Amino acid sequence: MTHRRTQSRRQFLQATALLSAGLVAAPSVIVRGATQPGWTSNPFSLGIASGVPSSDGFVLWTRLIPDPSGVDPMVPGEIADDSVAVNYEIATDESMRNIVRRGIAAAEKTYAYSVHEVVHGLKPNRPYWYRFHSGDATSAIGCTRTAPRAGAALDRLKLSYFSCSHYETGYFSAYRHAARQAPDLAVFLGDYIYEYSDSRNPVVRHHARKSEARTLSQYRGRYTQYRLDPDLQAIHAACPALMIWDDHEVQNDYADKWSQTFDSPQDFLRRRAAAYQAFYEHMPLLPSQAPNGSAMQICHAFGDLLSVHLVDGRQYRSREACYGPPGKGHGHVETNSDCPERLDEARSMIGLQQETSLFNRLAASSTRWNLLAQDVMMAQLRQKTRTGEFGYWTDDWNGYPASRKRLLQHLHDSKTCNPVVISGDIHSFWTSDLKLDFDDTNSPTVASELVGTSVSSNGPPFEQFAGFLPDNPHIKFFESRKRGFVSLEIARKQMTARFKALADVTDRDSVISDLAVFAIEDGRAGAAKA
Ligand code: FE
Ligand code: CA
C-alpha cells in the first residue's frame, strides 16, 4: 500500500467516524485517489467564497492553486492527481471554536481543482463561518449565512451589487468598502473579468496576458489574476454571493452563438463553452450549474421579504439588430427608419423560453419585493441623432423593445409585488421609471430600475449622455464619472438604494461616499430621492 493510499484510507476512517458521530453529512462526491499533500506554498491563494444561500445551507468554493503565476494554470504547481481531498469546517462563531460541521470535498482536475461543496442541514437565517484545510495548509476564514425559510417573516436585508470590474482601469476598492459593511448578500451582475486588455485608456495595472482570452487556459489565467486581488477576496469572504454574467466573461457584445467578430458559430460556441467553464470554476455556483450555466435562471427567496430573480441576458438572446458589415457585429445606435428589424416581435433579449420561465416565477412569487438581477440597462434611452430622429443602442434592452414590452406588460398584468430591476454593463449610475409605454409620459410606471456604476471600468462620456436626458423624462438620475457600487437596504415599507462613489479609482486607498440615495416605497413603483 502506498503512502498516498494510506492517507486516503485514514481520511476515509476519519470521515466515517465523524459520520457515525452525526457531525458530517456523507460527502456528495466520491474522492478518487485523493491525496493530502504537504504543500510548499499556500494552495488557497485565490481565497474562498460562498454562494447560493438556501434556508439550510449554501455552496462553499475554493480552488487549489499552489503556483498561480505558473505559465499553464491547467497544471497547477505540485498537483498531479485527478482529485484532491479538501477538508472543510463550518462554525457558528468567527473564531471557529464551535464547529457544527466537518466534511471532505473534492477538488477535481476537470474543473481546475476548484471546490463546489453544497452544504445542507444548517439552521435558517443565521451567519456561519467556514474554512478549508488541505494537507498542512489552511485557508482564510469566510463568513456566510443561510436564508430565512420561505415565507418566514423577515424585516430587513442588506445587499450590495456590483458590475464591470476591469482589472486594468482601476483598483477594486469598491469591493473592499462593500465588504466592510458586512452585507447579507452580494450580487454580481456581470463583467466580473474582461477578456480583452485595455489599449485605449491609461491603465493603473496590467493583465498578465495582453492578448484577448479565447481558450480555457487563457480564461482560467484571467480569473486567477483577478481572484488574487485582496479586495475581491474580501467581498467574497464577507457574505454569500449570487452571480450572473454579462458579455466580457466571454467576448464583448456577443449574443448567443453570434460573435461580434463574425466567427463561425461553431468556433464561437467552442470558445463560449471554454469561457463558461472557467466562470463556473471560479464562482461559488452549484455543481448543477456546471459547465453551461443554464441553471443560472434561479429564483432565490429570502423569507417573505425578497425574491431575487436571476436572469441570463446573453446565452439565449437574438442576434444584434442590423449587424454587419464586419466591424458592426457589436452594439451600435439604430433609428427606426434605418433598422425596422430592431422592433421585430420575434426577437428576444433573454430567449422566449426564459421569458416564459421568468414570467411564471414572477407570477408565483409571494414576497414583498421582487428584484430582477440582470446584466444590461432596461429603460428606454432615446439618443437624438444628427438627422433629429431618435436612435437606440442595440446591445441592451433598447435593442429588444418587444421583449422588454412583454416583460413590463407581464409585471403589470401579474401584479408582481414591488418589482425592482437592477442592472450593470453601462458603467454609470441611472435611476429610472420603467414605463408600460415609454413613448407616453402618462403611461403607468410598472417597476423601478437602479443601474449601478462599474467597480472600475471607464464610464461613457458624461456630457453626451447628459444631453439625452431631456428626451427621456422617465430617467431621474444619471452619473457616469464615478466608480463604485450600490448598497440596498430592503425593509418591509421601503427599499433604500445608496449609490456609493469612490473618490478615485486609481488610488488603492480611495475613500467612498454616498453620491445619491433613492427610496422606493412599498406599493408604489418609481424611486424618489431620499
Ligand atoms: Fe462592462
Ligand atoms: Ca457589458
Q: What protein residues have CB closer than 5 angstroms to ion ligand 1? A: 164, 191, 457
- Structure-block grid coordinates of residue 313: 441576458
334 CA distance to ligand 1 middle (Å)? 21
- Nearest ligand (C-alpha, residue 457): 1
Give how far Cα 341 sits from Cα of 66, 258, 261, 321, 359, Å: 51, 17, 20, 6, 25
CA dihedral (504, 507, 511, 513) in degrees, to 10, reads 20
Judge residue 1's burial from the number of C-beta atoms within 10 Å of its C-beta, 0-12 exposed, 13-18 middle, 19 or more buried: exposed
455 CA distance to ligand 1 middle (Å)? 9
If we measure between CA atoms, which residue out of 380, 367, 335, 454 comes closest to residue 153? 367
Q: SS3 of 160, please?
A: strand
CA dihedral for 528, 424, 54, 90, sign (positive or negative): negative
β-pair type (137-138, 127-134): antiparallel
Taking the domains of the chain in order of start, what are their residue ranges?
A: 9-145, 156-529
Q: Identify whether the C-beta of residue 54 lies closer than 8 Å to the C-beta of residue 286.
A: no
DSSP of 236-271: HHHS-EEE---STTTSTT-BTTB-TT---HHHHHHH
- Nearest ligand (C-alpha, residue 246): 2
Q: Which residues of 477-511 are buried (b: 16+ CB within 10 A; e: fewer)?
A: bbbbebbbbbbbbbbeeebbbbbbbbeebbeeebe
191 CA distance to ligand 2 middle (Å)? 6
431 CA distance to ligand 1 middle (Å)? 18
- Structure-block grid coordinates of residue 451: 443601474
196 CA distance to ligand 2 middle (Å)? 12
416 CA distance to ligand 2 middle (Å)? 28
Superfamily of domain 156-529: Alkaline phosphatase D (PhoD) (3.60.21.70)
Q: Which residues pair with 69 in a beta bridge?
A: none
- Nearest ligand (C-alpha, residue 198): 1
354 CA distance to ligand 1 middle (Å)? 23
248 CA distance to ligand 1 middle (Å)? 7
Q: What are phi and psi of 296, to 5 degrees?
A: -65, -25
DSSP of 81-135: SSEEEEEEEEESSTTS-SEEEEEEEEEEGGGTTEEEEEE-SPPSS-EEEEEEEET
pTM of the model: 0.93
CA dihedral (8, 13, 17, 18) in degrees, to 10, reads 0
151 CA distance to ligand 1 middle (Å)? 35
β-pair type (475-479, 445-451): unpaired
- Nearest ligand (C-alpha, residue 483): 1
Q: What is the predicted pLDDT for the residue at 72?
A: 59
- Structure-block grid coordinates of residue 300: 432565490
Q: What is the predicted pLDDT for the residue at 304?
A: 98
442 CA distance to ligand 1 middle (Å)? 33
User: Cell 471554454 sits at which residue?
Assistant: 274
506 CA distance to ligand 2 middle (Å)? 21
331 CA distance to ligand 2 middle (Å)? 10
Q: Identify whether the C-beta of residue 304 lies closer than 8 Å to the C-beta of residue 149.
A: no
If we measure between CA atoms, which residue out of 395, 418, 416, 394 comes closest to residue 407? 416
479 CA distance to ligand 2 middle (Å)? 17
User: Over the chain (530 residues), what is each successive 10-residue block's mean pLDDT?
Assistant: 32 36 37 59 95 97 88 64 93 98 95 96 98 95 97 98 98 98 98 94 91 95 97 98 97 97 96 95 93 68 97 96 94 98 98 96 97 98 97 98 98 98 98 98 97 98 98 98 98 98 98 98 96
- Nearest ligand (C-alpha, residue 460): 1
DSSP 462: H
247 CA distance to ligand 1 middle (Å)? 8
CATH of 9-145, one of 3.20.20.70, 3.30.70.270, 2.40.50.140, 2.60.40.380: 2.60.40.380
395 CA distance to ligand 2 middle (Å)? 9
- Nearest ligand (C-alpha, residue 164): 1
